[in-house]
Amino acid sequence: MTTVPEKDRLHAQITFAVEIDKLKRIIRRNLLMDGSRRENDAEHSWYVSMLAMVFAEHAPPGTDIQRVVAMLMVHDLVEIDAGDTFVHDAVAVAAQAEAERAAADRIFALLPADQAAGLRQLWEEFEARETPEARFARALDRFAPLLANHNTQGGTWPLFKVTADQVMRNVRLIEEGSPSLGAYAIDLVRRSVSMGYLPE
């Protein structure tokens, strides 16, 4: 087996480190909870990773939380190339998988092969939602913007004319990964409707 010279390996790692800094430039739709500005992807990745640790007891029994955290740190790196896809934009969602797969091919390949394979596997697992870890990670990814929009009096829901029915479709992914967080999310949607943040 051929080994990569240490200098070349470090160079590849540095190249990847510089590249992923671009995640800070990708602006998401939802606001920070103080309403001051929109969140960027790097902030989102950090936040949902923290939620994985905070809400660990709401994961299915036996869930590997460290793997969930790793998955959440990696899951949006593809948006450096593909951009943030607005979950309520059907046209954008239809094109999302192909764009993100091409991004994964390019971005993870910047790393040494062994590290590229490991991070790519985490990303693929998150996308497939076939493990308890992936389902819990996806639940948190959907829970965070719901929480942000509720705590900013609807946040960007009115701007994009989002309805309670649309939000409830995403709540199913939360329920799939965590029944207790799913139940809370349903209640949050109902409260958002009753407070006038979200039209039925």
Does residue 200 fall inside a structural domain?
A: no
Q: How many domains does the chain have?
A: 1
**Domain annotation covers residue 149:** yes
H-type alpha helices, the chain: 6-20, 41-54, 65-74, 79-82, 90-108, 113-128, 132-150, 164-177, 179-194
**Host domain of residue 26:** 6-194
Decide if 111 contacts 12 (C-beta within 8 A). yes
Which H/E stretch holds residue 199?
none
Task: Report which DSSP code applies to 39.
Answer: E
pLDDT for 1: 46
CATH number at residue 121: 1.10.3210.10
Q: What is the pLDDT of residue 3?
A: 56
**What does the DSSP assignment read for 163-182?**
-HHHHHHHHHHHHHH-HHHH
Place of tokens 């797969």: 101
Report pTM.
0.93
Residue 1 placed within a domain: no
199 within some domain:
no
- In a 3-state reduction of DSSP, which class is residue 9? helix
The rounded distance, in Å, linking the Cα atoms of 147 and 154 is 10
pLDDT in tens, the chain (200 residues): 445 568 899 999 999 999 999 999 999 999 999 999 999 999 999 999 999 999 999 999 999 999 999 999 999 999 999 999 888 777 777 888 999 999 999 999 999 999 999 999 999 999 999 999 999 999 999 999 999 999 999 999 998 999 999 999 989 999 999 999 999 999 999 999 999 999 98
